[in-house]
């Protein structure tokens, strides 16, 4: 059996039958087709479609194998990222809780009534003087929000302070201002609109 060279193999893949060159000057190992074209010429060397398809299929199989191999590692990294994100969210939540517990306390109007009936308190109305004169909680003193930093220093710092306004917005800011000024026993019970106790009208 004759040994088949690379060029002979390429011609067989192309489905052509190689022939010996008619020109004696050419090397006998170089085969040409019936038209005299050499197999290594860039003008006639065409890769068969089946070889291209096989190469594409092998490349796809390689990609699938790589993705399957790296899937557990990728899943593990995603789990680590999720755990880190949950840990950060938990730490942020804990910090927020600490900040809230160190500030003024928010209570309901019912809880405020219980505190007033059981201990000495200072009730502060942070609405405008006109709103205060239209009706206020019995025993409250007028301390408008824009004047709170001037009037507040006259208060006793270790006393319980209850703050309210009309709906709860101004009392929120007022209670924080008082807390920052050193009043630690500050309770914000929202607005007078949620109060069901006695109302005084001058």
Which residues, in sequence order, are CB contacts of 158 under 8 Å at separation 6+? 185
Tokens read off for 93: 């939540």
Residue 165 annotated in active site: yes
Per the structure block, which two tokens stand in for 3?
A: 């040994």
Query: Who contacts 104 (Cβ-Cβ below 8 Å, separation ≥6)?
Result: 163, 175, 176, 178, 179, 186, 187, 188
Q: Which residues contact 167 (CB under 8 A, 6 or more apart)?
A: 190, 191, 193
What number of other Cβ atoms are within 10 A of residue 169's Cβ? 13
Residue-level length of the chain: 202
Q: Tell me the two tokens of residue 56.
A: 């594409």
Helix, strand, coil share of the chain (percent; to 5): 50, 15, 35
Alpha carbon of 82 to those of 74, 78, 90: distances in Å?
12, 6, 12
Query: Strand 105-106 to strand 186-191: parallel, antiparallel, or no bridges (unpaired)?
Result: parallel
Catalytic pick among 112, 152, 165, 192: 165
The 8-class DSSP code of residue 128 comes to -
Catalytic residue set: 165
């Amino acid at each position: 059996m004759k040994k088949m060279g690379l060029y002979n193999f390429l011609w067989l893949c192309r489905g052509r039958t190689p022939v010996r060159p008619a020109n004696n000057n050419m090397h006998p190992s170089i085969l040409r087709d019936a038209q005299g074209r050499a197999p290594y010429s860039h003008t006639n060397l065409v890769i068969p479609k089946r070889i291209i398809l096989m190469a594409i299929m092998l490349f796809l199989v390689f990609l699938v194998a790589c993705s399957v191999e790296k899937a557990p590692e990728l899943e593990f990294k995603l789990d680590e990222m999720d755990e880190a994100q949950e840990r950060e969210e938990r730490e942020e939540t804990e910090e927020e809780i600490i900040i809230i517990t160190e500030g003024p306390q928010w209570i309901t109007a019912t809880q405020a009534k219980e505190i007033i009936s059981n201990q000495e308190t200072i009730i502060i109305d942070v609405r405008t003087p006109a709103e205060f004169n239209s009706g206020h909680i019995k025993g409250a003193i007028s301390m408008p929000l824009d004047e709170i930093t001037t009037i507040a220093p006259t208060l006793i710092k270790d006393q319980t302070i209850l703050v309210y306004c009309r709906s709860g917005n101004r009392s929120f800011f007022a209670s924080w201002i008082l807390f920052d000024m050193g009043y630690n026993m500050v309770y914000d019970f929202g607005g007078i609109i949620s109060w069901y106790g006695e109302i005084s009208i001058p």
